[in-house]
């Protein structure tokens, strides 16, 4: 659909249930998809007539269960190489061809689904600008409210400003989006503080709080006896952290309690085989699983957590009030380090980093042994007076209800 075109055969909104579309580009990891699932589930629970459709590039989307009245469209996947370039995951197409295919699928899905609200995760223009034709069409049709959703931390401010300028993301945010939701608190961190967005855009920003996670339907304890949970999130860049934990248990035969490792779906098969051999040698002191789509029960029953610093993992640490040691990655983005360092400053977690602690076996042993002495996140929240820290989903369902009763307007220039 060309710029300025409108959808044909549109029905009056009053004759149908609300529809919300969520877009996440998902070139790496699980974060975008899991955040979109949490949002979609909250929206459809709050409105028993609403439905939600998630557009995702995640290669493991089919391994997740989706809430009632929530479905997904799987976009052809792309993988980021070590040099920063991208390649199609499975199709024999170059990156330009795969981007055009994804853009066409997004636009067709939007035309057929005809959403009342589009929520875009993190990338204002989508992967390589693939979202722009759909944004143009929806804006021209004047039927959908357009929302940009940002996690609490994006990247080092200087690097982020250069990236957004290069991608045209600053202008897109000004031109297209009716609202910008930040899934965190301003008092914790402002992810766009250094971006030249202007007062008109900032007036459209909403600080929602973090996205609380829950157990959903009651689930039995995942295992008997005390344990700590070891999770590198998607696992694609968590090899070093898992290796460090295994080294700690190998070096100290008295280290306790039992450790449960969830590798994540993106840990390489060869690395996992090596880890499995080491786990087997530890005589039952450590156990491991490859992927757990319902990781919430493991969080809820753990005595503590050793994890990386991704957004969703941080939400789970807060939601289930678990003492945590975060080992953040620092490449290709500083996002996890910035989040973990601010959380440690507020007493919410303990961070283990190379420059200060040394990422050594001895440092990991000390961190695990000291877990019981840390404050619970709830205790630190009370001390820091961070009100509304976990109110994100409630705030968002209120905003969705408000947007459904407003006429979409042109974004401020």
Contacts with 81 (C-beta within 8 Å, 6 or more apart), sequence order: 87
pLDDT band for position 413 (50/70/90)? very low
**Beta strand ranges found along 168-323 (DSSP E):** 179-183, 205-207, 227-231, 258-262, 286-289, 304-307
The yes-or-no verdict on residue 412 having pLDDT over 60 is no
In a domain, 397, yes or no: yes
Please provide residue 300's backbone torsions phi and psi, each rounded to the nearest 5 degrees. -65, -30
Q: Are residues 237 and 204 in the same domain?
A: no
Q: Are residues 194 and 121 in the same domain?
A: yes
Spatial separation of the C-alpha atoms in residues 78 and 76, rounded to whole Å: 7
State both tokens at 294.
């319902």
Residue of 53, 206, 208, 196 lying closest to 119 (CA atoms): 53
In a domain, 294, yes or no: yes
The predicted pLDDT at position 120 comes to 98
**Beta strand ranges found along 25-95 (DSSP E):** 51-56, 70-74, 78-80, 86-88
Tens digits of residue pLDDT in 30-48: 778 889 999 999 999 999 9
Q: Are residues 374 and 398 in the same domain?
A: no
Helices (H), 82-186: 95-113, 132-141, 157-167, 169-176
Task: Please report, rounded to a whole number, the percentage of residues in the chain having pLDDT higher than 70.
Answer: 92
In a domain, 329, yes or no: yes
Q: Are residues 128 and 58 in the same domain?
A: yes
Q: How many domains does the chain have?
A: 2
In a domain, 221, yes or no: no
Residue 214 contacts residue 296 (beta carbons within 8 Å): yes
| Overall average pLDDT of the 13-26 stretch | 86
Q: Which domain holds residue 19?
A: 13-212+391-404
Q: Are residues 163 and 132 in the same domain?
A: yes
Please provide residue 298's backbone torsions phi and psi, each rounded to the nearest 5 degrees. -65, -40
CATH code (residue 366) = 3.40.50.2000
> Which run of H or E residues covers position 324?
strand 324-326
């Amino acid at each position: 659909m060309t710029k300025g075109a409108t959808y044909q055969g549109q029905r009056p909104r009053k004759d149908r249930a609300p529809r919300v579309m969520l877009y996440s580009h998902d070139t790496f990891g699980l974060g975008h998809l899991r955040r979109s699932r949490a949002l979609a589930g909250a929206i459809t629970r709050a409105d028993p007539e609403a439905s939600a459709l998630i557009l995702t590039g995640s290669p493991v989307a089919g391994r997740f269960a989706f809430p009632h009245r929530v479905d997904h469209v799987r976009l052809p996947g792309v993988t980021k190489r070590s040099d920063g370039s991208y390649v199609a995951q499975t199709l024999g197409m170059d990156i330009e061809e795969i981007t055009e295919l994804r853009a066409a699928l997004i636009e067709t899905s939007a035309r057929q689904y005809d959403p009342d609200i589009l929520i875009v995760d993190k990338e204002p223009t989508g992967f390589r600008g693939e979202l722009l034709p759909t944004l143009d069409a929806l804006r021209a049709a004047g039927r959908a409210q357009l929302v940009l959703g940002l996690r609490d931390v994006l990247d080092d401010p200087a690097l982020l400003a250069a990236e957004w300028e290069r991608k045209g993301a600053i202008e897109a945010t000004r031109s297209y989006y009716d609202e910008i939701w930040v899934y965190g608190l301003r008092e914790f961190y402002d992810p766009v503080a250094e971006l030249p967005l202007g007062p008109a855009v900032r007036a459209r920003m909403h600080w929602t709080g973090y996205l609380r996670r829950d157990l959903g339907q009651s689930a039995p304890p995942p295992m008997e006896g005390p344990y700590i949970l070891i999770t590198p999130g998607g696992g694609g860049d968590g090899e070093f952290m898992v290796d460090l934990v295994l080294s700690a248990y190998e070096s100290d035969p008295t280290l306790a309690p039992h450790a449960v490792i969830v590798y994540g779906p993106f840990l390489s098969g060869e690395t996992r085989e090596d880890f499995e051999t080491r786990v087997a040698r530890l005589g039952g002191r450590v156990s491991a699983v490859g992927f757990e789509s319902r990781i919430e029960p493991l969080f809820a029953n753990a005595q503590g957590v050793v994890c990386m610093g991704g957004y969703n993992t941080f939400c789970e640490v807060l939601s289930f009030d678990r003492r945590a040691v975060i080992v953040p990655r620092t490449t290709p983005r500083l996002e996890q380090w910035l989040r973990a360092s601010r959380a440690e400053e507020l007493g919410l977690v303990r961070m283990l980093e190379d420059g200060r602690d040394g990422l050594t076996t001895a440092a990991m042993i000390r961190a695990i042994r000291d877990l019981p002495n840390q404050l619970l996140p709830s205790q630190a929240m009370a001390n820091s007076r961070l009100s509304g820290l976990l109110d994100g989903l409630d705030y968002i369902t209120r905003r969705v209800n408000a947007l459904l009763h407003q006429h979409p307007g042109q974004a401020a220039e």
